[in-house]
């Protein structure tokens, strides 16, 4: 009877998710050579080539892509079985900045739960600065935030592009103050946007502030104001109006992962989060 090795299947899933033998090894707290051995063992067992590897690229073969979903289910079943033997649950607190959390958030959390169903996930969505403060206090195990100020620690996951967005019918007459919807005064995106307007000599007035990204998006969609938003979170139906109204360009922002987890299983779970996050941050055309 054909049987599968759990460690080998887990190594395959991580290589597929992270598209890297090195990062998969880091997630499992092992060596790249050990990951290669496990994957070779699995491929020999199945009689199929699962991963195509070149010096510059790691990708799934056609058979590997077909096997990935089943492999996830296999790992999840294994973790559920282990959880049934344990009287304790593991807790993982993750902070995600409100200007970072996007439509892929449910998939991100599902990927995390699928990796370790015994993991009790607590998610906190706030401004990047608040999350960084909570992480530094030890209140969060990990945080995915915008790069703030000159702080250089953390792992860069992606770059986020920002622009000026408004409803298609939004009107702004020359000489009038630009009606702006923004987050709280402590928000880094707000500060970047208002500094850019000031430097360009564009007068502005906040007609809607606070309430989180969802509230800003609602105000922009309703045609009440202009919002400085990441291209990825800008809702369907709004348009970028920076060029039309000669507004200053907004610089891109680095999205960074901060983590304090040390055990192999938590590191692996966090790596799946980072992978699910990064794969939805392909550069916009």
pLDDT tens track of the chain, all 285 residues? 678 888 899 899 888 887 888 878 877 778 889 999 999 999 999 999 999 988 778 889 999 999 998 998 888 788 777 666 555 567 788 898 877 776 667 777 776 766 666 677 788 888 888 899 999 999 999 998 888 767 778 888 878 889 999 999 898 887 889 999 876 655 778 888 999 999 999 999 988 776 667 778 888 998 889 999 888 778 888 999 999 999 999 998 888 989 888 766 677 777 777 766 666 554 443
Q: Quick one: 90-158+254-259 is in which CATH superfamily?
A: Periplasmic binding protein-like II (3.40.190.10)
- pLDDT at residue 282, rounded to an integer: 46
163: β partners: 229
The third-level CATH classification (topology) of the domain covering 162-251 is D-Maltodextrin-Binding Protein; domain 2 (3.40.190)
C-alpha distances (whole Å) from 142 to each of 13, 94, 280 are 22, 5, 19
In this structure, CATH architecture of domain 6-86: Orthogonal Bundle (1.10)
- pLDDT at residue 140, rounded to an integer: 93
Instruction: Enumerate the CATH 3.40.190.10 domain ranges in the chain, comma separated.
Output: 90-158+254-259, 162-251
Judge whether 192 and 250 are in contact, CB under 8 Å. Answer: yes
Query: Helix or strand or coil: residue 139?
Result: coil
Give the separation between CA 111 and CA 273, rounded to whole angstroms: 7
- pLDDT at residue 279, rounded to an integer: 60
pTM, entire model: 0.67
| 74-81, long-range: CB < 8 A, 24+ apart | 74/4, 74/6, 74/9, 75/6, 75/9, 75/10, 75/13, 75/114, 75/115, 76/114, 76/115, 76/117, 78/6, 79/115, 79/116, 79/117, 79/118, 80/117, 80/118
Give the separation between CA 157 and CA 37, rounded to whole angstroms: 28
- pLDDT at residue 283, rounded to an integer: 45
- pLDDT at residue 285, rounded to an integer: 37
- pLDDT at residue 185, rounded to an integer: 59
- pLDDT at residue 125, rounded to an integer: 86
Give the separation between CA 203 and CA 229, rounded to whole angstroms: 19
Judge whether 120 and 92 are in contact, CB under 8 Å. Answer: yes
């Amino acid at each position: 009877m054909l049987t599968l090795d759990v460690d080998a299947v887990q190594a395959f899933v991580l290589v597929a998710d992270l598209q890297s033998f090195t990062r998969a090894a880091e997630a499992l707290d092992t060596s790249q050579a050990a990951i290669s051995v496990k994957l070779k063992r699995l491929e020999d067992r199945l009689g199929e080539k699962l991963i195509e590897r070149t010096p510059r690229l790691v990708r799934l073969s056609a058979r590997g892509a077909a096997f990935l979903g089943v492999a996830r289910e296999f790992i999840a079943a294994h973790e559920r079985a282990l959880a049934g033997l344990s009287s304790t649950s593991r807790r993982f607190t993750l902070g995600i900045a409100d200007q970072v959390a996007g439509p892929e958030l449910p998939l991100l959390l599902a990927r995390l739960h699928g990796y370790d169903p015994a993991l009790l996930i607590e998610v906190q969505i706030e401004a990047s600065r608040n999350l960084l403060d909570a992480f530094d206090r030890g209140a969060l195990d990990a945080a995915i935030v915008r790069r703030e100020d000159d702080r250089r620690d953390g792992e860069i996951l992606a770059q986020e592009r920002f622009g000026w967005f408004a409803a298609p019918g939004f009107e702004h007459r020359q000489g009038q103050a630009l009606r702006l919807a923004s987050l709280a005064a402590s928000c880094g995106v707000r500060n970047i946007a208002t500094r850019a307007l000031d430097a360009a000599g564009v007068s502005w007035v906040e007609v809607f502030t606070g309430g989180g990204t969802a509230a800003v998006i609602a105000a922009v969609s309703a045609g009440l104001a202009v919002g400085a938003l990441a291209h990825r979170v800008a809702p369907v139906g709004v348009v970028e109006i920076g060029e039309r109204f000669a507004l200053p360009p907004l610089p891109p922002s680095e999205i960074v992962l901060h983590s304090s987890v040390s055990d192999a299983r938590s590191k692996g779970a966090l790596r799946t989060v980072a992978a699910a996050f990064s794969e939805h941050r392909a550069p916009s055309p």
